[in-house]
Amino acid sequence: MPRDTVPAKLVLEDGRVFPGEAFGAPGEVLAEVVFNTGHTGYQEVLSDPSYTGQAVVFTVPILGIYGVAPGRDDESDGPKAAAIICREASQVASNHRSRSTLGAYLKERRIFGLEGIDTRALVVHLRENGSKNGVLSTEDLDDASLLRKAKTAPDMNGLDLAKVVTTKTAYSWKEPYGDEGPWRPTHARKPAREPGSAGSVIVVDFGVKRGILRHLVDRAFEVEVVPAQTRAEEILERSPDGVLLSNGPGDPAAVTYGIDAARKLLGKVPLYGVCLGHQILALALGAQTRKMKFGHRGSNHPVRDNETGRVLITSHNHGFAVDPTHLSRTPLVATHESLFDGTLEGIRHKELPCAAVQFHPEGSPGPHEAESFFDGFARAIEKHRSRAPLPAASER
């Protein structure tokens, strides 16, 4: 079907130019350009706070074929990514749950969408040269002008974005996964327990995804989400049975308040972390982090559990990682490893009930193979509540 098109361009900080057409909201956006290898889950990706400040390139040839289901499939209160880039955006949404096309969703929420470019060439460029800052625009199509703007985009190194996306006030979360058909997580098919019967969990919100909160509720936890800058003393005053450090965007080393809180919480309650929370926990225990060349983003990443030998297919979204070369100086053990490039993907404390993973055990989007991480957290909390002697924590 013919449609009106709006010329647009992406220009990277190294001078590479990609002309295309806008299919979302027009305008101009500065962002770090990264790529995601997932074939589905674009709505979850778009609404994941960990993508704040980033323009996400999808490697699938056509995006948006099943439309958008606002609310249920959102991982936060709305889009957080700066822009979406794809080869082609579908004009038709073929799914009984869909309420609009992807393009209409982006326009309504004022998010830039760019299509019609050679995404294969762009992804190869980012893979070989690393993630790049760039500018996407319908307002300025002059290459030299756009290049100057691209070079002004903020560097992710040293950038604290957790304080930007975190909740301003504490709140309770009570929504479970519920009955979502045969594709729902395996844990949600088990008999429900009385809400709160497993204890209370405080989630420190560095950019938390709703999928994490739903997993905790489905395991009968009373869940309270607190702002990223909440001090350890304030958390302990709430007498939680466990604390989880959430995922989030930006440089973990810049989240100094989170590192300080994690250090003070160690040994007081079971302390677990996901993604950015994993990095913050590692930094609190003396490890170091580094920015990756182009990061891990997708829902098909193989990760080996070093303690069982089992290989998990997992969901990823991170541009920073914990440096394994310094782990021997800490009380941490490496529990998981990427089979793509050897990146450290999981840790646990040798003595305390404390563990974390770099990947996303909740999926959203992605497989459910790693959801046993939450079962390990639940067991650690059960032991803590019984005041039994605590062995070293484990994800399983």
pLDDT (tens digit, 9 = 90+) per residue, 274-291? 999 999 999 999 999 999
Q: Do domains 6-150 and 162-386 have the same CATH topology?
A: no
| Long-range contacts at 117-120 (CB < 8 A, ≥ 24 apart) | 117/10, 117/18, 117/19, 117/20, 117/85, 117/87, 118/18, 118/87, 119/57, 119/58, 119/59, 119/85, 119/86, 119/87, 120/59, 120/87
Q: Is 360 a catalytic residue?
A: yes
Which of 86, 275, 316, 395 is flagged as catalytic?
275
> For 48-106, what is each residue's pLDDT tens digit?
999 999 999 999 999 999 999 988 799 999 999 999 999 999 999 999 999 999 999 99
Q: What is the pLDDT of residue 1?
A: 43
| Extended strands (E) in the chain | 6-12, 17-22, 28-36, 54-58, 62-63, 83-85, 88-89, 112-115, 132-137, 171-173, 199-205, 221-227, 242-245, 271-274, 289-305, 311-322, 332-338, 344-349, 354-357
H helix and E strand count, the chain: 10, 19
Name the CATH code of domain 6-150 (choices 3.40.50.360, 3.20.20.70, 3.50.30.20, 3.30.43.10). Answer: 3.50.30.20
Question: Residue ranges of the domains in the chain?
Answer: 6-150, 162-386
- For domain 162-386, is the CATH number 3.20.20.70? no
Q: What's the confidence (pLDDT) of residue 191?
A: 62
Confidence (pLDDT) at 393: 45
Please tell me which residue in 296, 301, 336, 360 is annotated as part of the active site.
Answer: 360
339-366 pLDDT, tens digit per residue, is: 999 999 999 999 999 999 999 999 999 9
Residues of the chain with pLDDT under 50: 1-2, 182, 390-396
Catalytic residue among 13, 75, 362, 395: 362
Torsion angle (degrees, nearest 10) of CA 377, 381, 384, 386: -130
336 annotated active-site: no
